[in-house]
Structure 1
Amino acid sequence: MEPIAHDQEVAFDFPPLMKVYKDGRVERIVGIDVIPPCLDLKTNVESRDVVISPESDISARLYIPKITNQNQKLPLLVYFHGGGFCVETPFSSNYHNYANSVASQAQAVVVSVNYRRAPEHPIPIAHEDSWAAVKWVASHLDGNGPEDWLNLHANLEKVFFAGDSAGANISHHMAIRVGTEKLKGIKLQGIVLLHPFFWGVEPVGSESAELEQRARADQLWRFACPTTTGSDDPIMNPAKDKNLGSLGCGRVLIFVAEEDTLRSRGWYYKELLEKSEWDGVVEIFETKGENHVFHLINPSCENAVALLNHVASFINQN
């Protein structure tokens, strides 16, 4: 059989993430490696994969640190990976290694969600898949869920959502849904937003001088969500979301990086929360001299270690 001839004409090029060809073929460039679940000898964290919805192809990778007491209940972190809603998975080396580190440092059970990605599955499918995963976690109330690690060792009274970039956007929206839909089965204590991917038509902060970066962010958003009305879509701009004050947790931790185009959006999000009807506590931490998701790219650097320690402290704060 002769090999299939593919159209090599590019319809969408978004370096260094991906290319989409005019015949519809998607070529992802980053986050395509797959690390199998394992016992990580460096952190002593064990991982395994679970299927949440075979019909919708939603899955997750679970992580658990070494258990010394079989009756021990640990905080539960539900993590949503970044990648512009288009690339990466929980199984790539960056996210697998980071989840091991968080589970170890915070002594927490981690559920790293594998949602479907654009362009094959445009926004809001990633958000709907993520909500299905949150409801799956909540099904473990009273130890009656399908996954023993969660039944035996996850404290559903101490649940956190976290994510980086697009995953931080998803984490925010999952907390909104917890607040508006009153999900039974979990008590969401807080969310951690690492370099969150929010946007808007009107520039904020330093964005006025970043015309090329603004165009790039707009392009990526419209690519991931072809039906959007634009960058003031409530999915992308919290200032346009009437439910912002219903955020379903009491604490928010935001991380921004000094050299990141999205830095101003993180600060703006803090301002919006403080002006909203939400009555929780929001904290923001800016890393000097670093760029977007530096902690995944160089996890052993001093700033990445400090960030990890801050996340762990937030999860274990009484």
Structure 2
Amino acid sequence: MANTEVAHDFSPFIRIYKDGRIERLIGNDIVPPSLDPKTKVESKDAVYSPENGLSCRLYMPKNTNHDKKLPLLVYFHGGGFCVETAFSPTYHNYLNTLVSAANIVAVSVDYRRGPEHALPIAYDDSWTALKWVASHSNGKGNEDWLNNHADLQQVFFAGDSAGANIAHNMGIRIGKEKLEGGLNVTGIVLVHPYFWGTEPVGTETRELATRSFVEGLWRLVCPTTSGCDDPLLNPVLDPNFASLGCNKVLVCVAEKDMLCQRGKFYCDNLGKCGWGGVVEIMEAKEEGHVFHLFTPTCEDAVTMLKRVVSFVNQD
């Protein structure tokens, strides 16, 4: 009989029991790839790491112009590094909508999650996925959609929450070490990024219970961390912050999101750290964390989608 004593309770995300059992409270549903009748976006799954059994989901507009390659978006899903997948209905529906609106090809990366697979495994998996994408730069990769339809000289990274954290850290890594085959990362979109720090910034909550919850969840998924000022979580303290490997960044924050001030802090510091690109910020008033995933047709979600589409499509 399973031990019902709880060792760590990080509701509404995850619960760890004293017998080692892990209960994920959200993000467990998955949907297959498809041709979405509403957006006319086609999707399929492809293995990017056979040794670890890891796949990503590819998206492409059905009626694409076969003579012209489209910008490529590499997307990293959120979920605190411990819940959700690239195959959940939430992310599948969002990517269908985004790919249709922006007329792009997308790769949605599925990575291993904590606490079973502690960080930096999610970062390592994401880098492996980028290496797989880059292997198509000469048109000789194993995935025809990337060979024939994706412009690897016009690549964007994007993600929400923990996925935005991954997108940033992949941008730092690509600024320091080049991928074989090469990807030209034009821009990065960070939606409600999961960044934090030991000391509060701006009007960020001072409430000890809330701050200890955030720190506890971070330590659960990254047990070797130095704490909340780990550069992986507090990028402003990263000595390589200015080496972010893209030309422009869009940060989306939500006024009622606990992480809002941290996103603003990131923007302020990126703009003055010596990095040579352009950083933009968009704030959704009266909205909470990843509201656009829960209410994708609300006015603020539609406005944010248009801003992301504009960011990807502008020269």
TM-score bracket relative to the smaller structure: over 0.9
AA matched with 1:196: P
The alignment partner of 2:214 has SS state of helix
Map Cα deviations across residues 145-169 of structure 1 (whole Å, 9 max, x no partner).
Answer: 1100000000001100000000000
Whether 2:189 is the aligned partner of 1:189: answer: no
The alignment partner of 1:78 has SS state of strand
- The 5-angstrom pairing of residues 265-284 of structure 1 reads 265-284=262-281
Normalised by the length of structure 2, the TM-score is: 0.98
- The answer for the alignment partner of 1:233 in structure 2 is 230
* 1:293 aligned residue (286, 290, 302): 290
CA contact 2:205–2:258 (8 Å) conserved in 1: no
Give distance in 1, aligned partners of 2:205 and 2:14: 27
Whether 2:165 is the aligned partner of 1:169: answer: yes
Whether 2:92 is the aligned partner of 1:96: answer: yes
- The answer for the alignment partner of 1:31 in structure 2 is 27
- The 5-angstrom pairing of residues 174-253 of structure 1 reads 174-183=170-179, 184-253=181-250
* 1:256 aligned residue (253, 258, 270): 253
Unaligned runs of 5+ in 2: none
Give distance in 1, aligned partners of 2:4 and 2:76: 33
- The answer for the alignment partner of 1:85 in structure 2 is 81
The alignment partner of 2:200 has SS state of coil
Change (3 A) 1:68 1:267: closer
CA contact 1:273–1:282 (8 Å) conserved in 2: yes
Normalised by the length of structure 1, the TM-score is: 0.97
Unaligned runs of 5+ in 1: none
- The answer for the alignment partner of 1:14 in structure 2 is 10
- The answer for the alignment partner of 1:150 in structure 2 is 146
Map Cα deviations across residues 119-176 of structure 1 (whole Å, 9 max, x no partner).
Answer: 0000110001000001111000121111000000000011000000000000001011
Instruction: Work out the percentage of aligned pairs sharing the same amino acid.
Output: 61
Count of residue pairs the alignment pairs up:
314
CA contact 1:57–1:116 (8 Å) conserved in 2: no
Give distance in 2, aligned partners of 1:239 and 1:74: 33
- The answer for the alignment partner of 2:50 in structure 1 is 54
Whether 2:156 is the aligned partner of 1:160: answer: yes
1:208 Cα deviation after fit: 4.4
Give distance in 2, aligned partners of 1:22 and 1:54: 33
Give distance in 1, aligned partners of 2:156 and 2:208: 35
- The answer for the alignment partner of 2:71 in structure 1 is 75
Give distance in 2, aligned partners of 1:56 and 1:68: 32
